[in-house]
Amino acid sequence: MPESWVNLAEPIGSDLHVELSGPGSRRAVLIRALRDAVREGRLAPGTRLPPYRSLAADLGLARNTVADAYAELVAEGWLTARQGSGTRVAAGTSAAGAPPRRARRPAPARPAAPAHNLRQGTPDAASFPRTAWLAAARRALGAAPNEAFGPGDPRGRTELRQALADYLARARGVRTDPERIVVCSGFAHGLRLLFGGARGAGGGVLRGPFAVESYGLGFHREILEDSGVRTVPLGLDEQGARVEELAGGLRVRGVLLTPAHQFPTGGPLRAARRAAVVDWARTGGGVVLEDDYDGEFRYDREPVGALQGLDPERVVYLGSVSKSLSPAVRLGWMVLPEHLVDGVLAAKGEREAWASVLDQLTLADFIASGQYDRHIRRMRQRYRSRRDRIVTALAEHAPHIAATGIAAGLHAVLRLPPGTEASAVKAASWQGIALDGLAAFRHPRATMPAGDGLVVGYSTPAEHAYGAAVEALLRALPPADDLSVDGSSVDGSSVDGLSVEGK
């Protein structure tokens, strides 16, 4: 490779001689050249290096190559990176040679306190309906019978179970009555009650093995595994989970699905497959667990009804307020087939030990008064606007990258060219962004990868900070001419047929 001169960004304003020569990949050659510049004193401690995009342009390298080189030198201790301060030569380095001594396990490149939280799963905390919630609490406490302040019923308060039965039937097409609803503290608690808790304590009413979607939340799989339940991954495509694999020799007793909005890839389970998985459960005596984690939030059409409505005796419906209201309100629910109710109640115990009775009474009033519907409609508009802003920004500034899946939920998946996911996550950390790549959600035994992508949660940032978060995200994305970490061209077509639906 030829020698190159780099003009450092302000406030340095001087030239840097970087000799790109010798064996190895472009990334390795650049790392070696920058190390030599520090060793030889041409880059003194505290010297600010140019942004990786500027250095890439000056040297004719791929941006991800430079970002990876910077990250490696930060991990080794030659450089430091702080939000707002840029990348600098670490204090303590000298012409004598080595960087300052540090722990063998390098610190992660991601800043400890990111400026922009774009991780999935958390609603806009500032939008919690404080005034309406307080009014509901006052009404609920004023109307509560004296016995409500005694030991709690493990089923949950009858007021909440009645309100949930009415709401879920109307809004999600769930077929049930209050006697088949058991209140819990959230989805994870519901799983532990069904499968017997940590390491199979209590036995559980369900047994494994269980099929799960090949991409999903790892801690849900861990709950099953800790309960002694082996999980088997199901493939995904544009039709949703490949439920036909259940009849193809998997030998599982049940399946856990996110049919309204597959997490995290974003597609729905299509009608034919919804019918097929219910038929499989009926024929073989299996059970379907339906995680309806954000079923109310669909933006391009009316939400699809719950899978449970097809067969209430074969489908366990689980929901919570962690996405619709706040994870701080520790309330969820299970709508159970009749034959599972007694077993779940036995697992829960004689008294309510998890879900606050006062919060149950408040949520019951909040739903019955119509405030919950009004809050959902308000948040649906807000989250749709935020998703649309990402889609519009991509179309204008990064048209080679698309937000895939249906227009729904609190997150979007940005499809990336193959081979660029790890570098894009790393580049995001340099921009002060906390987010995850698709690979973070892949089942360890999944055989068919869903391709490269970023899982971008658009619900968490405050409204006034959202524009800056989107701009930082755009800076972290690989450009159209940077299709791999080493600069080589790749095919940027979509993987597994997962494509854009809606806006």
In sequence order, what DSSP letters do the residues of 395-457 get, joined into one string? HHH-TTSEEEB-SBSSEEEEE--TT-HHHHHHHHHHTTEE-EEGGGGB-TT-SS---SEEEEE
Tell me the β-bridge partners of 287.
254
pLDDT tens digits, residue range 267-321?
999 999 999 999 999 999 999 999 999 999 999 988 889 999 999 999 999 999 9
pLDDT at 2 over 90: no
Measure the CA–CA gap between 393 and 404, rounded to whole angstroms.
14
Neighbours of 230 (CB within 10 A): 11
State the Cα torsion 134-140-142-145 to the nearest 10°: -150
| pLDDT grade for 203, boundaries at 50, 70 and 90 | low
Instruction: Give the per-residue pLDDT at 243.
Output: 95
Statement: residue 108 has pLDDT above 50: no
Main-chain dihedrals φ then ψ at residue 213, nearest 5 degrees? -65, 145
Model pLDDT for residues 367-421, shown as the tens digit of each residue: 999 999 999 999 999 999 999 999 999 999 999 999 999 999 999 999 999 999 9
Dihedral sign for Cα atoms in the order 322, 328, 329, 333 = positive
Note the pLDDT tens digit of each residue in 50-104: 887 778 887 888 887 888 888 878 877 788 877 666 788 887 665 555 555 444 4
Distance CA 222, CA 434 (A): 23
Percent of the chain with pLDDT over 90: 64
Which carries the bigger pLDDT value, residue 226 or residue 84? 226
Instruction: Please tell me the predicted confidence (pLDDT) of residue 200.
Output: 43
Which of the 8 DSSP states describes residue 147?
G
The percent of residues in the chain predicted with pLDDT above 70, rounded, is: 86
Reported as a pLDDT band with limits 50, 70 and 90, residue 204 is confident
Q: Which of 166, 193, 188 is nearest to 177 (CA)?
A: 166
123-149 pLDDT per residue, tens: 999 999 999 999 999 999 999 999 999
User: Which residue ranges form the domains of the chain, and what is each CATH number?
Assistant: 3-107 (1.10.10.10), 130-370 (3.40.640.10)
* pLDDT tens digits, 433-452: 999 999 999 999 998 888 99
How far is residue 295 CA from its own chain's centroid?
15
Q: What is the pLDDT of residue 37?
A: 83
The pLDDT confidence band at residue 501, using thresholds 50, 70 and 90, is very low
Residues 67, 450: Cα–Cα separation, whole Å: 24
**Dihedral sign, Cα of residue 314, residue 153, residue 195, residue 306:** positive
Classify 125 in phi/psi space as left (phi over 0), alpha (psi -120 to 50) or beta: alpha
CA triple 338-340-344, angle to 5 deg: 130
Integer Cα distance of 492 and 418 in angstroms: 6
Q: Helix, strand, or coil here: 233? A: strand
Torsion angles phi and psi, residue 412, rounded to 5: -135, 155
Question: Token pair of 104, please?
Answer: 């063998």
Hey, is 52 helix, strand or coil?
helix
118 is written with which tokens?
């774009």
Confidence of residue 23 (pLDDT cuts 50, 70, 90): confident
- 495: pLDDT strictly greater than 80: no
Radius of gyration of the chain (CA): 26
Is the predicted pLDDT of residue 111 greater than 60, yes or no?
Answer: no
